[in-house]
Amino acid sequence: MENNDSTVKTDFIREIIREDINSGRFSSGIMTRFPPEPNGYLHIGHAKSICLNFGIAAEFGGKCNLRFDDTNPTKEEQEYVDSIKEDVRWLGFDWEEREYYASDYFDQLYQYARKLIDKGKAFVCDLTADQIRDFRGTLTQPGKGSPYRNRSVDENLALFERMRQGEYPDGFRTLRAKIDMASPNLNLRDPVMYRILHASHHRTGEKWCIYPMYDWAHGQSDSIEGITHSICTLEFEDHRPLYDWFITELGIHHPRQIEFARLALTYTVMSKRKLLELVKRKIVSGWDDPRMPTISGLRRRGFTPESIRLFAERIGVAKRDSMVEISVLEDCIRELLNKQAPRVMAVLRPLKVVLVNYPDEKTEEFETDNNPEDLSMGKRLVPFSKLLYIEREDFSENPPKGYFRLTPTNEVRLKHAYFIRLKEVVRDGSGEIVELHCTYDPDTHGGEAKDGRKVKGTIHWVSAAHSVDAEVRLYDHLFSKEDPEDDSDGRDFFGSVNPDSMITLKECKLEKSMGQAAKGSRFQFLRHGYFLVDPVDSKPERPVFDRIVSLKDAWKKK
């Protein structure tokens, strides 16, 4: 039954499904599937597909299967199967007991292939892969039929069985559909259905030495599972006639294939092959490196399932490919964390400040809201003392125009605390500034002057005596080019890796409250952005924080 929520979603896919429901095309109910290949970790583009397939099933009272397209044993691993299941669950979706594999259907697919041979619609071909490619023709020239195209049904059945029994080496023969070598759609020019591949499969072991091609396995797997709507990305649009041809010739349940635009994000690559290369070349630490667009990488970075689902909802589904600004994804997590994350003060590049007129042994506490967007999160007390740390960039001896922070002539407000004014700059032997001596005005307690004077600048700070030492990793876009795959400037995507995609700061000073922060918890560091307590590397004696996203998009075009 269709979801009757007052905010019913609409797009061209959902409209097609509504039409099919109204026409009675699929009387048994809506059934979708998410069919990943277990040859790598899922990325944000897969997250869009997961949200779409599981979301549509839920909206229309149907079900969504998780089916692994495990037809290429040379590239598939159990590690990838496990990671995919973890990612789907983390996003908030449940396939219940409906966990399937294309390999579950290898016996049935073999029998289906025999049926096509019996009908004279498939044949065993001895051409090599290169010869098949040469015989295929071009977009403007028809292909040429294989010299083995007219073998008898009995000969084809016998040869196909011998292929299955392992009598031939890899690539020696193939099984091909017999369709139309003159078709304007190259996918219908006698496509390969099976190839010989002597490789151990992660589930079936040594049972098979012939493996189905994707175009053959996919549609029949959909049919076996009773899928009603096979939602694919646009590169499969030209494959749809072949999808339909196989199912029609077999006379089996016929799902409807619908194509939508795949996700392309700025400053990102989405190819699993290229992501694997980044891992192999150790440009990143692994598939779950916080700079990777993988779901596991985004999770490690600190993105939440809600933010990914919100992103998928905002970008919607389209019929044509386009590039989505990565700022859309970042704005989703900003929006959610702005409401959820406690605020704290953290000094990432500390500069020592001594308040020369503040009592040596005195300590005060200033009360502040944990999150001004949600007052139910309560308040906390922030300690204040004679020796403080401020951000190095919050002081300038020769300030540029419009600089309103601490200068030799500018008074500045310490957030929640007092106004301070510079008295002396202290340098080391090399001339580097190591310390500022300042005075505070006790009549500005809480950050407001009793005499009514105003200051233009407010900076954050941390009490040295109460600070927590921490390591902070500032993550940014992995690539410096908006489209890393655009090589018109002579650089391939490896050449456009951003050298500043991770900056590690080891001498950071954080509020006292951060000493007890639990792994995986998220905070807003005032003026810096949103941060995650690293779930792997952080330790109570040395916490590690990862920047999820800055407070604003520094990459937006001006």
> Which of 444, 460, 476 corresponds to the end of one domain?
460
- In the three-class reduction of DSSP (H, G, I as helix; E, B as strand; rest coil), residue 533 is classed as strand
Write the CA distances from 324 to 256, 259, 262, 312, 496, integer angstroms. 28, 18, 10, 11, 19
Any idea what DSSP says for residue 21? H
pLDDT exceeds 90 at position 104 = yes
Domain span at 437:
346-460
pLDDT for the residue 555: 44
Verify that 229 and 350 share a domain, yes or no.
no
Structural domain ending residue among the three candidates 399, 432, 460: 460
Closest CA to 83 of 292, 262, 333, 337: 292
Whether residue 388 is found in the same domain as residue 253: no
Any domain includes 215: yes
* Nearest residue to 35 (alpha-carbon basis) of 285, 220, 270, 299: 220
Looking at the chain, the whole-number percentage of residues with pLDDT higher than 70 is 98
424 has catalytic annotation: no
Catalytic residue check, 339:
no
What count of other Cβ atoms lies within 10 Å of the Cβ of residue 426? 11
Q: Are residues 174 and 69 in the same domain?
A: yes
In a domain, 331, yes or no: no
Domain membership of residue 223 (yes or no) is yes
Query: Which of the listed residues 231, 260, 289 is the one where a domain comes to its end?
Result: 260
Identify whether residues 246 and 355 lie together within a single domain.
no
Two structure tokens written together for 306: 């809600």
Question: Out of 14, 33, 176, 272, which one is annotated catalytic?
Answer: 272
Q: Answer yes or no: are the C-beta atoms of 546 and 476 closer than 8 Å.
A: no
Per-residue pLDDT reduced to its tens digit, 465-515: 999 999 999 999 999 999 998 888 888 889 999 999 999 999 999 998 898
Question: Is 558 a residue whose pLDDT tops 50?
Answer: no
Question: Which of 197, 158, 188, 156 lies closest to 175 in space, CA to CA?
Answer: 156
In a domain, 214, yes or no: yes
Looking at the structure, do residues 249 and 155 belong to the same domain, yes or no? yes
Tokens of 255: 């799902």
Q: Is residue 537 part of a domain?
A: no
How big is the chain by its Cα radius of gyration, in Å?
Answer: 31
For residues 240 and 100, membership in a common domain is answered with yes
Question: What is the C-alpha to C-alpha distance for residues 517 and 340, in angstroms, rounded to an integer?
Answer: 15
> What does the pLDDT average to over 121-134?
97
Structural domains in the chain (count): 2
Look-up: residue for tokens 């020696």? 172
In a domain, 556, yes or no: no
What would the pLDDT profile of 397-430 be if each residue is shown by its tens digit?
999 999 999 999 999 999 999 999 999 999 999 9
On whether both 110 and 230 belong to a single domain, the answer is: yes
Q: Which of 262, 405, 491, 527 is catalytic?
A: 262
Between CA 324 and CA 334, with CA 328 as vertex, the angle to 5 degrees is 160
Instruction: Determine the Cα–Cα distance for residues 344 and 416; give it in Å rounded to an integer.
Output: 12
What's the confidence (pLDDT) of residue 201? 97
Q: Please check whether residue 557 lies inside any domain of the structure.
A: no
C-alpha 298/C-alpha 83 separation (Å) is: 13
Q: The tokens 């020239």 sit on which residue?
A: 141
Determine the pLDDT at residue 7: 63
- Statement to judge: residues 125 and 229 lie in one domain: yes
- Strand ranges (DSSP E) for 270-372? 323-324, 343-344, 346-347, 350-355, 364-369
Catalytic residue (one of 37, 155, 313, 325): 37
pLDDT of residue 312: 97
Does residue 514 fall inside a structural domain? no
- Looking up residue 441, the CATH number of its domain turns out to be 2.40.240.10
Average pLDDT over all residues of the chain: 95
Can you give the CATH number for the domain in which 62 is found?
3.40.50.620
Query: Do 244 and 365 share a structural domain?
Result: no
Residue 395 CB contacts under 8 Å (≥ 6 apart), including other chains: 351, 405, 406, 407, 422, 433, 436
**C-alpha to C-alpha distance for 270 and 133, rounded to whole angstroms:** 27
Q: Is 272 a catalytic residue?
A: yes
Q: State pLDDT tens for residues 315-350.
A: 999 999 889 999 999 999 999 999 999 999 999 999
Same structural domain, 249 and 354: no
pTM, 2 dp: 0.93
pLDDT score of 6: 46
- Contacts of residue 402, Cβ cutoff 8 Å, sequence gap at least 6: none
* 387 membership: H or E segment, kind and range: strand 387-391
Query: Is 366 in the same domain as 234?
Result: no
Q: Is residue 350 located within the same domain as residue 446? A: yes
